[in-house]
Structure 1
Amino acid sequence: MPLLLLKVNRLSAVFWDVDGTLADTEMDGHRPAFNMAFKELDLPFVWDEELYNRLLAIPGGLRRVKLHAETCGVPLSQDQLDQVRDRKRVHYLERVRQGHVHLRPGVKRLLQELSSAGVQQWIVTSSGSASVMALLEQIQTQIPSFDGVVTSDDVASGKPAPDGYLLALERSGANSAASLAVEDSAAGLSAARAAGLRCLLTPSPWDADALRDSYDKATAMLDHLGDPGEQATVLSGASCHDGTVTLKYLENLLSVPDR
């Protein structure tokens, strides 16, 4: 009796989100940086972890500030918002340089495996270029170089709009059917899907419950990418051998019927 072999597609490219996906930037990076900016500018806001967790449902840091201020009855002018952005950026970059931001489990391992296999790897983020480059400078000795970077400075609309992913697909020349996005948020998932990409979702601990309604939209969803001794838990999608996301696992996801 002949053996039936499952055809596995070759992975062309992986597009990585940054905040909350590559690294835990939010709670120990962006949040305290915003609080320091608020204090410097005499603004009556303090974002603790519980509040910031809720505010993360709003994509884009400055939009988050604007809407929160309006909710508090303290509408901010564009000049004030620009000042918050500029001061927050200074404090965030300093926190990155001080080592407060760390890679999530499995990220370093998978980046190295994909690089060795010749898979293109791009960053696609709604963050600004300065924040992204500061993080990459801090972690550049730990990880291989990315093939390209698309930030909010490169597109008209950030996530959940697909603009960033569409631009990355164009610049990389990658086939969307043979590529994957790795995301941690509902906005990122929506952006990837709108660009025709399958998406592996690895929500941050504070986002997992809020993303339960997104399970059926992601190709697979795990709590993180997994490392030896720190196994990932599959929340939806294909089982993950040994609890670590590998090149083989990602290529298997390409064979999953698109939703």
Structure 2
Amino acid sequence: MVRSVAMPCLQAVFWDVDGTLADTELTGHRLAYNRAFKDCGLNWIWDESLYTDLLSIPGGRQRMQHYSERLGQSLDADLLDRLRVIKQRHYLDVVASGGVQLRPGVQDLLEELSASGVQQWIVTSSGKASVEALLRSLSTDLRDVFQGMVTADDVERHKPNPDPYLRALEFCGVSSDHALALEDSAAGLQSARSANLRCLITPSAWDHDWQLFSECAQCVVDHLGGEQAPTVHHGPTCAQGRITLEYLQLLLSLPLR
């Protein structure tokens, strides 16, 4: 007698923030960095092209340190801390003004997962203050869908290291076989994969490492839904016209890559 193998039940979804949950980078964080540089007397201006290049460095403090070293300059720890604080304040202002929006299809999926009792956690290389600012800009119903978050303030090693996702798995009490990560970047995918998590990728405009995405992710789509159905670049056909709980559940049955 042949027994069928039960499909793992999806119990937790981990959301990256910048570029996955919302379009925060070019119209949010970039503007805040430039305002902070001006406030601190630095003649740095991160235009869209330069900032897109710098996004390969996860984490704001690391990004500023990397850029200063590229210029042959030295920023001491006190100045980096001051820049980070001022940048966070400007980011709060940008978000409060409505300058940051959720990506297409995100709200529908958040609401469906919440209604179905699936845990949702934020796992990001951004600081807690930035994440909380974004959540405050959402409707009350959406603010309450998350059970918690793991931010840059909670781990010493950020993405692409697995530590953020390992901490999220510890917090939510779910095994990696019953959880899924939603990411937009190569660094995020590497972090999730190193934590033995299956991953859906919605690439940002500045990160199209298609070879890595196709080799390691269970699915690659241009967005989660909305007015137009998502284009599936890699993975199962999206018959529902948007990414749903049923579709995410299907991804759990696919082998780790």
Q: Could you state the TM-score of these two structures normalised by the residue count of structure 2?
A: 0.94
> What amino acid is aligned across from residue 24 of structure 2 in structure 1?
T
Is 1:14 aligned with 2:5? no
Runs of 4+ residues over 6 Å off in structure 1: none
Report the CA distance between 1:253 and its aligned residue.
Answer: 0.5
Cα distance in 2 between the residues matched to 1:11 and 1:139? 25
Report the CA distance between 1:212 and its aligned residue.
Answer: 4.1
Cα distance in 1 between the residues matched to 2:23 and 2:179? 24
1:176 corresponding residue in structure 2: 176
Contact 1:105 1:230 in 2 (8 A): no
Secondary structure, aligned partner of 2:188: helix
1:234 corresponding residue in structure 2: 232
Cα distance in 2 between the residues matched to 1:197 and 1:89? 30
1:25 corresponding residue in structure 2: 24
2:93 corresponding residue in structure 1: 94
Q: Which moved more, 1:141-150 or 1:217-226?
A: 141-150
Contact 2:196 2:256 in 1 (8 A): no
> What amino acid is aligned across from residue 105 of structure 1 in structure 2?
P
Cα distance in 2 between the residues matched to 1:20 and 1:76? 28
> Using a 3 Å threshold, how does the CA distance of structure 1 residues 6 and 109 change in structure 2: closer, same or farther?
farther
Contact 1:33 1:89 in 2 (8 A): yes
1:78 corresponding residue in structure 2: 77
1:252 corresponding residue in structure 2: 250
2:115 corresponding residue in structure 1: 116
Report the CA distance between 1:14 and its aligned residue.
Answer: 0.3
Deviations 1:6-34 (A, max 9, x none): 95432111011111110011001100100
Cα distance in 1 between the residues matched to 2:80 and 2:210? 29
Cα distance in 2 between the residues matched to 1:106 and 1:19? 15
Contact 2:229 2:241 in 1 (8 A): yes
Report the CA distance between 1:236 and its aligned residue.
Answer: 1.0
> What amino acid is aligned across from residue 39 of structure 1 in structure 2?
K
Identity %: 54
> What amino acid is aligned across from residue 256 of structure 2 in structure 1?
D
Cα distance in 1 between the residues matched to 2:164 and 2:212? 24
Report the CA distance between 1:73 and its aligned residue.
Answer: 2.2
Contact 2:201 2:213 in 1 (8 A): no
Q: Structure 2 stretches of 5 or more lacking a match?
A: none
Report the CA distance between 1:173 and its aligned residue.
Answer: 0.9
Report the CA distance between 1:138 and its aligned residue.
Answer: 0.9
> What amino acid is aligned across from residue 185 of structure 1 in structure 2?
S
Cα distance in 2 between the residues matched to 1:161 and 1:55? 18
Secondary structure, aligned partner of 2:177: helix
Aligned residues: 254
Secondary structure, aligned partner of 2:153: helix
Cα distance in 2 between the residues matched to 1:175 and 1:58? 29
> What amino acid is aligned across from residue 72 of structure 2 in structure 1?
G
Question: In angstroms, what is the RMSD of aligned CA positions?
Answer: 1.7
> What amino acid is aligned across from residue 250 of structure 1 in structure 2?
L
Secondary structure, aligned partner of 1:46: coil
Cα distance in 1 between the residues matched to 2:72 and 2:94? 30
Contact 2:186 2:212 in 1 (8 A): no
Aligned positions of 1:106-255 closer than 5 A:
106-141=105-140, 143=142, 144-207=144-207, 209-227=208-226, 229-255=227-253
Q: Could you state the TM-score of these two structures normalised by the residue count of structure 1?
A: 0.93
Secondary structure, aligned partner of 1:145: coil
Report the CA distance between 1:84 and its aligned residue.
Answer: 1.1
Q: Which moved more, 1:28-37 or 1:235-244?
A: 235-244
Contact 1:233 1:243 in 2 (8 A): no
Aligned positions of 1:35-50 closer than 5 A:
35-50=34-49
Secondary structure, aligned partner of 1:181: strand
Q: Structure 1 stretches of 5 or more lacking a match?
A: none
Cα distance in 2 between the residues matched to 1:94 and 1:245? 31
Contact 2:59 2:152 in 1 (8 A): no
Report the CA distance between 1:210 and its aligned residue.
Answer: 3.8
> What amino acid is aligned across from residue 191 of structure 2 in structure 1?
A
Contact 2:113 2:245 in 1 (8 A): yes
